Amino acid sequence: MGRPDGALPRDTLARIFDMAQEAGLKPCPIVFEEVPARLMEAITAYGGLLNRYQHWTFGKAYQRIRLAHEFRLTRLYELVVNANPAIAYLLDSNSAVENLVVTAHVIAHVDFFQQHYRFREVPANMPDRLTRIAPAIERARVRLGAAAVEKWLEDAMVAAELVDPYNDDWEAPANVLAYIHHEARDLSDDARRLIEWVAQEARYFRPQLDTKVANEGWATYWHQQLMRRYPLTPGQVLEYARLHAAVVGSRGLDNPYRLGTAIWTRAFADGDTDAWQAHRYLSDVGMVDRFVTPELLAELEPGLGRDEALSLKSRLLQKLDNAGLPRIEVEGSEGRVLVLNHRHDGRDLDQRQLPGALMALSRLWGGPVRIITAVQGKARRLLAQPDTVIEEAG
């Protein structure tokens, strides 16, 4: 088969694997799948799991990603699926140098998934499980109707974000969907299974959300290390330097590649043992807390004073806390009413989205849902029914 310039040569890949393993990375076997750009966009929309159930939300994500690509806002070089064997999708139009960088990057991601403790409880065969669940979802479509299944999935996705990532017991207050699943009175078996499935997916993805900066940083740090050792021609060095610069960007903390690389560079400067320990045990909050110093912030945001740096660090920690999601917990049920408490940390909830999200919970719960929150320092209580929300007197 005729291969374009960018195709992945087996011996090059073997060489990068050798170098990575020599450096201490321990990836599981990887299936590299070279795909066209259009498919890469689709894969991204499905979070890497192409076998997921059909849902319009993925279609919407797909359209938006395609649109962004049309406007050249983003380019996706690779996407790694956490599984064993891992699946790495590569863009089939990648140049030879892009593929070198991308495979080194991928190997480090896979190592991270394999070594970090947060991924130990995650099923290694998620793609296969998805294939097996498909018939059950089809049966639910027949019995409940396609529109009802679509709605159950949509509502469950809202609730599935409300999890305690460290404790999957339904009684843990942060596990709102698990509580509903366990305690709701009128859920049909089909609906219950749909909810279970969405909850499983959310649990699968959650550690990735909590380690986004650490993992992207780890992969970027290591592609940098490996490319420094790889014998590149002068022309290739230039292409690599451009690519790396595009990935890490010029300034700011919003880019997880940039922030993450800076953190790992600091961690390894502090000592190899510390860094390798952190790589197994720290998620984003831990990494920032442990390694982000005022000096490091000043490197990333030139011109920053010491006080500004400290407040920037605390804002960064807050932003990364709980994967950036508000902490909403079950208080209990009062009769038919499910009562939730928003643990307010100084940041208000988005009031535009709140009613819609609450109604989704009410539909799942099969009854009224109350939330106790605060807006601009004043207590606010909302009571949601499946299709209305009213404000209750404080």
Binders of another protein among 61-100, rule CB under 8 A?
Answer: 61-68, 70-82, 85, 92
Among 100, 133, 162, 330, binds another protein (CB under 8 A): 162
Contact between 389 and another protein per CB under 8 A: no
Q: Does 251 bind another protein (CB under 8 A)?
A: no
- Within residues 254-293, the interface with another protein by CB under 8 A covers none
SS3 of 231, please?
coil
Dist CA 208 CA 215 (whole Å): 8
Residues contacting residue 277 through CB under 8 Å, at least 6 positions apart: none
Which segment (185-193, 229-237, 245-253, 305-313) binds another protein by CB under 8 A? 245-253
Q: Closest approach of Cβ 217 to another protein, in Å?
A: 11
Sheet holding 337-342, edge to edge: 328-334, 337-342, 369-375, 378-385, 388-392
**CB 170 → another protein: shortest distance, Å?**
19
Residues 310-349 that bind another protein (CB under 8 A): 319, 323-326, 328, 347-349
299 touching another protein, by CB under 8 A:
no
Nearest to 138 by CA among 190, 199, 200, 192: 190
How many residues interact with another protein (rule CB under 8 A)?
99
3-state secondary structure 132-163: HHHHHHHHHHHHHCHHHHHHHHHHHHHHHCCC
User: Nearer to another protein by C-beta: 67 or 379?
Assistant: 67
Candidates 15, 55, 290, 381: give the one binding another protein (CB under 8 A).
55
Nearer to another protein, 44 or 265 (CB): 44
Amino acid, res. 124: A
Q: Is there binding between residue 32 and another protein (CB under 8 A)?
A: yes
Residues 69, 43: contact at Cβ < 8 Å?
no
Of 10 and 185, nearer to another protein (C-beta) is 10
- Per-position b or e across 71-95, b if 16+ CB within 10 A of its CB: eeeeebbbbbbbbbebbbbbbbbbb
